[in-house]
Structure 1
Amino acid sequence: MDLSLYITGVDLLGTFVFGLSGGTVAIRHRLDVFGVIVLAVAAALAGGMLRDMLLGATPVIALADERYLLVAVAAALVAFFFKPLISRLGKPVMVFDALGLGLFAVTGCRKGLEYGLDPVVSVLLGVLTAVGGGLVRDLLVTEVPRVLREEIYALAAFVGATVVVVGEYLVLADWLVTLVGISAAFSVRVISVIYGWSAPRSPWL
């Protein structure tokens, strides 16, 4: 499969998943249908738009390809109409957020490598892509962004992006690297929530 097509497919999946997380947060804050769509679109597209702007890939793919907006709106409507079903997952926002984190960390890092960036810079780009949507989502509902209060959030994205760089160095199959990278980021994030892991905080709090 062509690499750019492969990245687009994973990117669209990440867009949908982050859209679900944004829509779920909006419903939790009792926003109307317009608010749900706005928050879902912001969560779904902000990270990818930030990535493309930093790469100079303009117009950004979220604006150049209407599928991204349609997928984000579809995710918002799914969250709006099927919230009770989604809630059966237990912690739907955390689950979707963790999955979206892994998906965008992988695609962000891959796109950086595709544009010829240094591996370290590509990993950082993957992290920025992964945390960007969640950051905008949380700010819109006046919450402290998870990336600032849950340090394992960014670390999980870092782990997923690093897997991509290692996989490229070892010349492993794209599908395998993608699967392992997403799984690694997802697992680190979910396990950190289950066990309450976090980076050290100031003793003067």
Structure 2
Amino acid sequence: MTPQPPEALDALFRLIDLLGVLGNAVLGGALARRARLDLVGLGTLAILSGLGGGLIRDTLLQQGTPVALTDYAYIATALAGAGIAFLLEVEGRGWHRTYLVVDALALGCWAAAGAQKTLDAGLGWLPAVLLGAITAVGGGTVRDLVLGRRPGIFGGPLYATCALVASGVMVLLDQLGHPSAGLVATTATGAGLTLLARWRGWQLPEPPGWQPASVMRRYSASRRGRRGDRGRNDPVQ
């Protein structure tokens, strides 16, 4: 098996990582516009959305200063995403479809980058899958919390699950000696699953409602029913 040239792999990784930054920054900036924030708010939300997942990943890996603070291309890309969001029309059916595609591609990009960077740090497959998913959903979660919205990973169509599956693809292909193919396949898997889940409405099952008062009422009613049955079955004296 021919080893992958490290320079080519590093360049592809950086491209995938920056594409995730750009996608999430555009989404953050667009949501800031819809929330009628000013330019400072738009730029701040774009940076938080675009860099949040990578900052969480790099902080947890403890491999030095997060790359977003040492490589100016990351902040520049996030600001470019803010500029795109400022200039784009963020209403209507066309924007809604674009939003879904950009969101799905950003998730796939960051699942690939997060899992690969974790493997490069010498950690095993399980941390790679977990950090791949955290990288993919971290920026969007921070963005939603700042806007006072329930994060998308806590309900609705499959999202974090798609990131977990995509990260697993990255780990598998890396173990087979194909990290570059893994970056591309993981991006496609994450994006494809996310779009398919939205189209088909796939969701994880919700736990049944559990309220102590209603449970006690049902229990009391069943007890009364059993006592009534015993009374009817007793022999007549």
Aligned residues: 204
Correspondence 1:192 to 2:188: no
Distance 2:148 2:77 in 1: 25
Choose from 159, 167, 174 the match for 2:165: 159
Aligned: 1:66 with 2:72: yes
Gaps of 5+ in 2: 211-237
The normalised TM-score by structure 1 is 0.93
For residue 105 of structure 1, give the secondary structure of its aligned residue in structure 2.
Answer: helix
Which of 123, 133, 143 is equivalent to 2:129?
A: 123
Residue 89 of structure 1: CA displacement? 4.4
Task: Name the amino acid aligned to 2:29.
Answer: G
Cα shift at 1:9? 1.7
Q: State the Cα distance separating 1:167 from its structure 2 match.
A: 0.5
Q: Cα–Cα, structure 1 residues 116 and 173, in superposed 2: closer, same or farther, change >3 Å? A: closer
Change (3 A) 1:34 1:111: same
Task: Give me the whole-angstrom Cα distance separating, in 2, the residues matched to 1:130 and 1:86.
Answer: 26
Q: Which has the larger radius of gyration?
A: 2
Identity %: 34
SS in 2 for 1:88: helix
Question: One-letter code of the match for 2:186?
Answer: G
**CA displacement at 1:150 relative to structure 2:** 3.3
Contact 1:24–1:92 (CA under 8 A) maintained in structure 2 = no
Q: Select 2:13's aligned residue among 1, 4, 7.
A: 7
1:126-158: CA deviation from partner (whole Å, max 9, x where unpaired): 011111000001011110001112361111101
Aligned to 2:217: none
1:99 pairs with one of 88, 98, 105? 105
> What's 1:108 paired with?
114
Q: CA deviation at 1:57?
A: 2.2
- Distance change in 2, residues 1:143/1:71 (3 Å): same
Q: TM-score, normalised by structure 2?
A: 0.81
1:128 maps to amino acid: I
Q: Does 1:35 align with 2:41?
A: yes
Closer, same or farther: CA 89–183 of 1 in aligned 2, 3 Å: farther
Partners in 2 of 1:84 and 1:20 — Cα distance?
10
Unaligned runs of 5+ in 1: none
Matched residue, 1:77: 83
Distance 1:8 1:173, change over 3 A: closer
Distance 1:143 1:92, change over 3 A: farther
CA 1:177–1:34 in 2, change beyond 3 Å: closer, same or farther? same
Q: Deviations over 1:109-136 (max 9, x none)?
A: 0000001100111111101111100000
**Runs of 4+ residues deviating >6 angstroms:** none
Matches within 5 A, 1:143-154: 143-150=149-156, 152-154=158-160
